[in-house]
């Protein structure tokens, strides 16, 4: 055995044993044993490793076996060469955390419990993956990734992929009558991202924002976290009432279909809301979250389409009309505000994933997005009617629902007999324990006392599933 600088190294090297009949190649065995000795401290940092020729002779293997092993240790950062002196253990090891006592003891890595992948019955705005155009979407993603311009792009437009912004502008013009330029469109990572962007670009911190009550909880939580004052205003049968609104920097409204009650704001009240904006020089954010899903009747014009001022912003989402897995949405802002939003995005950077945006743009431009929406309209309209019939069949005398002109859920009212026995939160709790998702309407309200009801989603479930869930719910409420 050749001699080395440190006796501990000599002893460690002498303990190496290679199994020529083993499944692993000899150089792999040698690398593994040397690595373990270094990590355990048997060969100390800075210790000199044997020369390849002498080491190969001592082990009775070819020199290439030793040099291959040593090269691997160098590549992994466990060893380093010193010109004219040989190979030494690196003074600073790459995996120092592995040197903690007990690292080599048996340890089981348990897989994460993935839980249920499909949505639970009545979950509002649930997405039915069975209806998603998986093959078409997969082809578009592959095509987008194969495109050299997509793969080699040195930078990402923080406002969104240009082709997608153009496609959104065309879609909004054709479906909602909006007249906006692609430069006014900003791609977001959903409602939370859009709200954060609004807070910074509009300088909302320290100002008041009016929210519908009941309303979408995300808005209130995001605003309050960023130091924005939240003023809840009760919604009646015609939606948000401008007569009850005080001065504020911004009002966030869902006029086409209020969330969660489903009421539609009539034209006269929309005009009153725009007049409030003029009177207070205030901004309005129009959240048009599921307007594509209208099953009958002519949709009323958007606020942004009615406005002759430059104070209405418009927000939409692909989570409802395509798939929530994209985590993509968009904002349309007036021309005078474009520069402010661009500046915030340049400073902060985009949160919306750039991977799917080119594919989504192509899906929209090709006409397949419009085809998909029309298909889902037919399916969801039939499911809504099926839910109405199932509630009538199984829950008569307990809950009442009315068919609506659009949307992805219905708001059920509790009968007098049921409300005398339990509240909507108690019904919701019973449903949860039985594996149903039936949110209480009162949980969406910050100030409206006595508001009772239940949100019954139908979009993610076929007629058989809805009927079975209604039968289950009836059993729970008759107990």
Pure H helices in 25-133: 26-40, 52-59, 63-76
The pLDDT tens digits for 390-401 are: 999 999 999 999
pLDDT level of residue 148 (50, 70, 90 thresholds): low
Dihedral sign from CA coordinates of 232, 238, 241, 242: positive
Q: Which of 49-53, 195-199, 350-354 has the highest mean pLDDT?
A: 195-199
Integer angstrom CA distances of residue 413 from 249, 426, 478: 34, 14, 16
Q: Residue 95: pLDDT above 60?
A: no
Lowest-pLDDT range, 84-88, 239-243, 315-319? 84-88
Classify 372-477 by CATH class.
alpha beta
**pLDDT, mean of residues 199-205:** 97
Q: Could you tell me whether strands 329-332 and 185-188 are parallel, antiparallel, or unpaired per DSSP bridges?
A: antiparallel
**pLDDT, mean of residues 378-398:** 97
Q: Residue 208: pLDDT above 50?
A: yes
- Return the structure tokens found at 357: 């945006």
**pLDDT, mean of residues 167-177:** 95
Exposed/middle/buried for 367, CB within 10 Å: 0-12, 13-18, 19+? exposed
Long-range contact set of residues 341-349: C-beta below 8 Å, sequence gap at least 24 = 341/159, 341/186, 341/197, 341/201, 342/158, 342/159, 343/201, 344/197, 344/200, 344/201, 345/158, 345/159, 345/186, 345/197, 346/158, 348/158, 348/200, 349/158
Domain ranges of the chain: 7-99, 132-367, 372-477
**pLDDT, mean of residues 405-423:** 96
Q: What is the pLDDT of residue 342?
A: 97
Which element (helix H / strand E) includes 410? strand 409-414
pLDDT level of residue 8 (50, 70, 90 thresholds): low
The pLDDT tens digits for 138-147 are: 999 998 888 7
Mean pLDDT of all residues in the chain?
90
Q: Residue 4: pLDDT above 50?
A: no
Dihedral sign from CA coordinates of 364, 365, 367, 370: positive
Q: Who wins on pLDDT, 419 or 153?
A: 419
Same fold for the pair 7-99 and 372-477? no
Q: What is the pLDDT of residue 243?
A: 96
Lowest-pLDDT range, 110-124, 239-253, 371-385? 110-124
Integer angstrom CA distances of residue 97 from 43, 44, 78: 17, 16, 14
Q: Residue 353: pLDDT above 80?
A: yes
Q: What percent of the chain is predicted at pLDDT more than 90?
A: 71
pLDDT level of residue 368 (50, 70, 90 thresholds): very high
**414 has which bridge partners?**
399
Q: Residue 6: pLDDT above 80?
A: no
Q: Domain 132-367: give its CATH code.
A: 3.40.640.10
Q: What is the pLDDT of residue 97?
A: 45
Give a three-class secondary structure readout of 237-272. CCEECHHHCCCCCEEEECCCCCCCCCCCCCHHHHHH
pTM (2 d.p.) = 0.78
Q: What is the pLDDT of residue 282?
A: 97
**pLDDT, mean of residues 290-300:** 86
Q: Who wins on pLDDT, 280 or 104?
A: 280
Which element (helix H / strand E) includes 14? helix 7-14
Q: Who wins on pLDDT, 478 or 227?
A: 227
**pLDDT, mean of residues 215-235:** 96
Q: What is the pLDDT of residue 1?
A: 38
Q: Domain 7-99: give its CATH code.
A: 1.10.10.10
Rounded to whole angstroms, how far apart are CA atoms 286 and 208? 17
Q: Residue 363: pLDDT above 90?
A: yes
Q: Residue 152: pLDDT above 60?
A: no
Rounded to whole angstroms, how far apart are CA atoms 456 and 336? 41
pLDDT level of residue 155 (50, 70, 90 thresholds): low
Buried b (16+ CB within 10 A) or exposed e, 156-193: ebbbbbbbbbbbbbebbeebbebebebebbbbbbbbbb
**pLDDT, mean of residues 301-313:** 91
């Amino acid at each position: 055995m050749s001699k080395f600088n440190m006796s501990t190294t000599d002893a460690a090297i002498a303990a190496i044993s290679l199994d020529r009949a083993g499944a692993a190649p000899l150089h792999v065995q040698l690398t593994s044993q040397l690595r373990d000795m270094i990590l355990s401290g048997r060969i100390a940092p800075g210790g000199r490793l044997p020369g390849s020729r002498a080491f190969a002779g001592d082990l009775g293997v070819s020199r290439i076996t030793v040099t291959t092993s040593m090269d691997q240790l160098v590549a992994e950062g466990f060893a380093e060469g010193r010109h004219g002196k040989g190979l030494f253990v690196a003074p600073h090891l790459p995996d120092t955390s592995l040197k903690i006592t007990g690292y080599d003891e048996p340890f089981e890595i348990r897989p994460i419990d993935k839980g249920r992948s499909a949505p639970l019955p009545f979950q509002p705005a649930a997405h039915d993956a069975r209806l998603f155009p998986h093959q078409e979407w997969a082809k578009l993603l592959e095509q987008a990734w194969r495109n050299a311009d997509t793969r080699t792009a040195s930078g990402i437009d923080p406002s969104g992929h240009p082709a997608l912004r153009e496609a959104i502008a065309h879609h909004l013009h054709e479906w909602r009558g909006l007249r906006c330029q692609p430069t006014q469109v900003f791609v977001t990572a959903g409602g939370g991202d859009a709200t954060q962007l609004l807070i910074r670009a509009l300088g909302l911190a320290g100002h008041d924002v009016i929210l519908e009550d009941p309303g979408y909880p995300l808005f209130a939580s995001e605003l309050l976290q960023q130091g924005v004052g939240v003023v809840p205003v009760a919604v009646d049968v015609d939606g948000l009432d401008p007569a009850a609104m005080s001065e504020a920097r911004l009002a966030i409204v869902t006029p086409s279909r209020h969330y969660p009650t489903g009421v539609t704001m009539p034209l006269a009240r929309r005009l009153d809301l725009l007049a409030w904006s003029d009177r207070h020089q205030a901004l309005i954010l129009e959240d048009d979250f599921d307007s594509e899903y209208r099953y009958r009747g002519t949709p009323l014009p958007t606020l942004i389409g009615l406005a002759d001022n430059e104070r209405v912003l418009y927000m939409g989402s692909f989570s409802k009309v395509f798939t929530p897995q994209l985590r993509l949405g968009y904002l349309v802002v007036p021309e005078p505000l474009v520069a402010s939003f661009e500046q915030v995005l340049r400073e902060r950077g985009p949160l919306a994933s750039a991977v799917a945006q080119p594919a989504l743009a192509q899906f929209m431009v090709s006409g397949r997005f419009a085809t998909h929406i029309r298909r889902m309209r037919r399916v969801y309209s039939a499911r809504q009617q099926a839910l109405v019939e199932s509630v009538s069949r199984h829950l008569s005398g307990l809950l009442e629902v009315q068919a609506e002109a659009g949307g992805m859920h219905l708001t059920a009212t509790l009968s007098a007999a049921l409300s005398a026995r339990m509240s909507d939160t108690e019904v919701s709790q019973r449903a949860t324990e039985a594996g149903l998702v039936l949110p209480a309407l009162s949980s969406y309200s910050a100030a409206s006392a006595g508001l009772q009801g239940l949100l019954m989603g139908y979009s993610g479930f076929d007629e058989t599933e809805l009927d079975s869930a209604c039968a289950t719910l009836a059993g729970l409420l008759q107990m």
